[in-house]
Amino acid sequence: MANLTISIEDEVLKKARMRALEEGTSVNALLRDYLERFTAVSAARLSVAERILSVSAKAGSRRGASRWTREEVHSR
């Protein structure tokens, strides 16, 4: 596991420590959890974008070419 050093205002850290204590955790655990969720969301967004591009490529979509019908766009 890697270590990370960050710089934040003293008052922000004090409030974060108090809030973490109220929630029965630590600032370190809060930041680790946040970064895990942050990277998971980025990966999920990338996956969605890749699927959209894949569907578009399979459909032969080109600007100016024939358009999809409303039913085709909304079919599942």
Residue 38 is assigned to a structural domain of this protein: yes
Residue 24 is assigned to a structural domain of this protein: yes
Quote the pTM value: 0.55
Please give the average per-residue pLDDT across 33-60, as a whole number: 80
Residue 27 is assigned to a structural domain of this protein: yes
pLDDT value, residue 61: 56
Domain that holds residue 39: 10-57
Residue 3 is assigned to a structural domain of this protein: no
Q: b/e string for 60-70 if b means 16 or more Cβ within 10 A?
A: eeeeeeeeeee
Which of 48, 45, 73 shows the shortest CA–CA distance to 61?
73
User: 12-41, pLDDT tens digit by residue?
Assistant: 999 999 999 999 999 999 999 999 888 887
Residue 14 is assigned to a structural domain of this protein: yes
Residue 17 is assigned to a structural domain of this protein: yes
pLDDT value, residue 1: 87
Residue 49 is assigned to a structural domain of this protein: yes
Residue 29 is assigned to a structural domain of this protein: yes
Q: Domain total for the chain?
A: 1
